[in-house]
Amino acid sequence: MGKKTFLIFGIVCLLFLQYHGYGYAAELEVGDNKPFQTITSAIASASDGDIIKVFPGLYKEKLELNKQIILQSVEKHKAIIEGDHKKHVIEIKSPDVVIKGFKIRASGHNFLNNDAAILVDQADHAQIVDNVMEDILFGVYIDSGNNTIITGNEIYGLKDKRLSERGNGIHFFNTNGNEVNGNVIKNVRDGMYFDHANETEVTNNKITDVRYGLHYMWSNDNTFRENYFSNNVSGAAIMFSKFISLEKNIFADNRGYRAFGMFFQTAEESIVEDNLFMRNSIGIYSDLSRGNIIRNNTVVQNDIGIEILGSNWDDEIYGNSFIDNLQHASVNEMKIRDKWYKDGEGNFWSDYSGVDIEKDGIGDAEYHSGSAFEFLMYKYPHLRLFVESPTSKMLKAIDKMFPVIDRAEVIDPYPLKVENNSASYVKNMKIYPSKVAGIMTFVISLMVTAIGITFITYLSKRFSH
């Protein structure tokens, strides 16, 4: 058979296969004056590999995708899929499904059903791209599906509900190998919840106004890079997990009683590096964790920069810059089994007053954290009201000259004289919240005290006659 004959034969075979539906992706159009009036009817007529293009409009229907199809809004966010506030709006039950460009709303609000805008039900390789989800309990709920890609979505939870009555933005259960990139998540319970979810890469997401930006349970080998967590109870809560990498994330303004930028609980052999912890109640908190590396982070203007409990061991904390925190470091036991240095490199502490005669960038004297006043604050937290008062400054000065209280403290034998990595973070940042907040709190407390004394004096004079 000659080359020309072989080529003609190949073309005929290809046309035959396409004619009979093999390897040919049909395009089905949905909308007014289109072949299909509903998305459901288009799905019923579609075959694996087909593309369903949905034109602008409101589609009040719930979808079950049990074929390998691409479901695409012709104009981004102009096609609205609206449920009936019962169960899920869209269920993915086939591998290789793509959902792109829709506005999806009105899921059920039942926690027993895990009602969601999109449920990935034991289906692999789903792609959920550029959608807006609102008025939903859960945004995306992945149940035993692997290698899901979730990118460019906006997820808005039930803002008018209490945190305990909201679902999670993205919920991972029994799943591996996912990619989550460039999503905006707001007003849900937890931004992303991981339950036995491994080998997932989370990058460039923005999560605000939730309980935990990341909530981790029994999930290993995951990477979080360049995400932004702000105005949450905790930016990240990593619990019962191993081999987690948190790199170049920003944890800012996570405030409240015992609120954290990042919280480690029974976390092991993880790396926290090149992150910014700014204006949190507690920047970094760790309990019952071991073998973690915390390095090259900028910890600035938090109430407490880092709190490490004595239940931790074998952690390495070095190369970090602690700048203008009300209290740089807090420990609760005299003997801490973690190292605050590695290979002759400690941390930068903005209140370190030692000198560097040898000009090697390392202070000649050890850095000792804390003071008598900080010790008293740990025992009596309400004293934090007076953190910038003349009394606290006097106690700190006296304690430096005549230390009389044995207390748990951080000892850094190699304190850095130059900030290690903070210049890019703090260059254009307002330097007001921590110290000015302390001064304002002290002034307000004086005013309240004066008003109280005046009122008591007035009452005593009034009723003494």
- CA-nearest of 78, 75, 74, 77 to 27 is 74
| 300-314: burial string, b at 16+ Cβ within 10 Å, e else | bbbbbbbbbbeebee
Query: Which amino acid belongs to residue 397?
Result: A
Report yes or no: 260 and 234 within 8 Å, Cβ to Cβ: yes
Contacts of 226 (CB under 8 A, 6+ apart): 203, 204, 247, 248, 249
d(CA 213, CA 236): 5
* Alpha-carbon distances, residue 362 vs 392, 422, 423, 460 (angstroms): 29, 17, 18, 61
Report yes or no: 73 and 79 within 8 Å, Cβ to Cβ: yes
* Alpha-carbon distances, residue 24 vs 33, 48, 49, 194 (angstroms): 25, 9, 8, 38
Length of the chain: 465
Q: What is the DSSP string of 281-298?
A: SEEEEEES-BS-EEES-E
Q: Compute the Cα dihedral for 15, 21, 26, 28 and give only its sign.
A: positive
Task: Look at the block and give the residue holding tokens 């604050």.
Answer: 377
pLDDT digits (tens, 9 = 90+) for 195-218: 999 999 999 999 999 999 999 999
Q: What is the dihedral of CA 196, 202, 205, 210, to 10 degrees?
A: 20
- CA-nearest of 155, 151, 152 to 169 is 155
Contacts of 252 (CB under 8 A, 6+ apart): 228, 229, 230, 235, 261, 276, 277, 278, 279, 280
d(CA 319, CA 462): 63
CB-based burial of residue 261 (10 Å sphere; 0-12 exposed, 13-18 middle, 19+ buried)?
A: buried
Note down pLDDT in tens along the chain; length 465 residues. 555 555 555 554 544 444 344 456 899 999 999 999 999 999 999 999 999 999 999 999 999 999 999 999 999 999 999 999 999 999 999 999 999 999 999 999 999 999 999 999 999 999 999 999 999 999 999 999 999 999 999 999 999 999 999 999 999 999 999 999 999 999 999 999 999 999 999 999 999 999 999 999 999 999 999 999 999 999 999 999 999 999 999 999 999 877 999 999 999 999 999 999 999 999 999 999 999 999 999 999 999 999 999 899 999 999 999 999 989 999 987 777 899 999 999 999 999 989 999 889 999 999 988 655 555 555 556 555 565 566 655 655 555 655 656 677 899 999 999 887 654 554 544 443 444 444 444 444 455 455 656 655 665 666 665
Structure tokens at 292: 């973690």
Q: Biggest alpha carbon distance in the chain? A: 125
pLDDT digits (tens, 9 = 90+) for 399-449: 565 565 667 789 999 999 988 765 455 454 444 344 444 444 444 445 545
Q: What is the DSSP string of 118-150?
A: EEEES-SS-EEES-EEES-SEEEEEES--S-EE
What are the backbone dihedrals phi and psi of residue 386, each rounded to the nearest 5 degrees, phi first?
-110, 25
Beta bridge partners of 128: 99, 150
The pTM of this model reads: 0.83
